[in-house]
Amino acid sequence: MLRYYFMLSTLLISTVSVVHAREVVLPKPVIIALIEERCSSPDPNPRVSPVLEYDCSDKYEDGDEDEQSMDYSLRLVPLIAQDFDRNGIRDFALVVESSGPLGGSVTTNSGIHYVLLDKKQKIIKDHEVLLYAPFSEHIVEYSIVGQRIKYEAVPNYRSHPEAYKDGVLLVPALKFEVNWINGNPTSTYYRENCRLAGIKDKPLLKLARGVTRETDIDMHDYTQVITEKAQIRDLQVTATLEGCDYSEVVFNIEPISGQTLPVLTDVLQALIPVTHHHKQLRDLLKLDQKSQIKFGEVLSLNNNWSGRIYIDRKNNSSRLRINLSQIK
């Protein structure tokens, strides 16, 4: 029954896609960018023949250092042409399907991509709703009504076997659409079910200038993801906020080129004055000053928050990640 459901889901996705592929034509620059980003040695060459289906091959060395290749196919299925971000330029929604060997390969996946373009038809943003991957959170079907895409997601039985009994789904399907608000995608699931959706402004960095901000949809659970980036002193800081009812905040910190990562105390002291989560960072600073921080372990903070700090040392360069989680 589970196998039947998966095969049926894949068939439905493909059937819906083919119908709409005849109605929308992707510009050549979009095809080239999508294929060259995802496909090694594409056949045919998209710069010569910008078609919608390609054969790809990735080269790699096995444990004996012998060169091997993994062959897979890539298909683009245009769905909708529409100005999603309201900048006067036509954008596109399309399916990107990759099929690898045996159906369980890392190259076997599919997703709907909302690609936003500039005047030169260059992709400036790419927002994805994952339809299927071997161990994705959900298996997603879609239907198109006019210029709208309607989604229906059920748990992937490989990742969540507890959601099924004797092949029968025990939980209701999750239904949603993607709306565009101020040029940013937002799922109706997030807007209708998540407490954080009711908070209009969710800033992360308190800087008057030099901050870039992006809003996206989490491809797995369809909540909002906010990312802000800035240089703070000699540090490149990327702050991310996501979650449904409770906030998950992550700070990724690395030194700018030619510099080394300071000690944790100095990093925290640099972040505290310029972040909206300064209270949680100040709690971490107090723990650090008492030598009570162990990397990778959950740390209890005030006001129902927890923290966890990781350090990654690679190629003579260190990176720091600070996770802050709001506790239920």
User: What pLDDT does residue 106 have?
Assistant: 65
Contacts of 190 (CB under 8 A, 6+ apart): 196, 197, 217, 222, 223, 224, 244
Q: What's the token pair of residue 107?
A: 């190259």
- DSSP state letters, 277-312: THHHHHHHHHHHHTT---TTS-EEETTTEEEEEEEE
CB 254 within 8 A of CB 166: no
List Cβ neighbours of 87 (8 Å cut-off, separation of 6 or more): 116, 183
**Which tokens in the block code for residue 247?**
């906030």
Distance (Å, rounded) from C-alpha 137 to C-alpha 264?
A: 35
| Six-digit token string for 144 | 């198109």
Give burial (CB, 10 Å; 0-12/13-18/19+) of 144. middle
Domain regions of the chain by residue span: 2-189, 195-326
Q: Residue 13: phi, psi to the nearest 5? A: -60, -50
Q: How far apart are alpha carbons 277 and 254 in whole angstroms?
A: 19
Rounded to the nearest 10 degrees, how much is the dihedral formed by the CA atoms of 180, 188, 145, 30? Answer: 40
Q: What is the pLDDT of residue 21?
A: 46
The 10 Å Cβ neighbour count of residue 263 is: 9
Residue among 68, 123, 131, 127 at smallest CA distance from 98: 131
What per-residue confidence (pLDDT) applies to 103? 47
Residues 6+ apart with CB under 8 A from 275: 204, 205, 206, 239, 251, 281
Q: Which of 121, 175, 124 minimizes the C-alpha distance to 148?
A: 175
Helix (H, G, I), strand (E, B) or coil at 33: helix
Grouping H, G, I as helix, E, B as strand and the rest as coil, residue 99 is strand
Per-residue pLDDT of the chain (328 residues; tens, 9 = 90+): 333 344 434 433 433 433 444 579 999 999 999 999 998 889 999 999 999 999 998 877 777 777 777 889 999 999 999 999 999 999 999 999 999 864 456 678 999 999 999 999 999 999 999 999 988 999 999 999 999 999 999 999 999 999 999 999 999 999 999 999 999 999 999 999 999 999 988 999 999 899 999 999 999 999 999 999 999 999 999 999 999 999 999 999 999 988 999 999 999 999 999 999 999 999 999 999 999 999 999 999 999 999 999 999 877 788 999 999 999 8
Contacts of 305 (CB under 8 A, 6+ apart): 280, 283, 324, 325, 326, 327
Among 160, 157, 138, which Cα is nearest to 219's? Answer: 138
Identify the pLDDT of residue 1. 38
Give pLDDT, residue 105: 62
pLDDT score of 22 = 52
pLDDT value of residue 18: 39
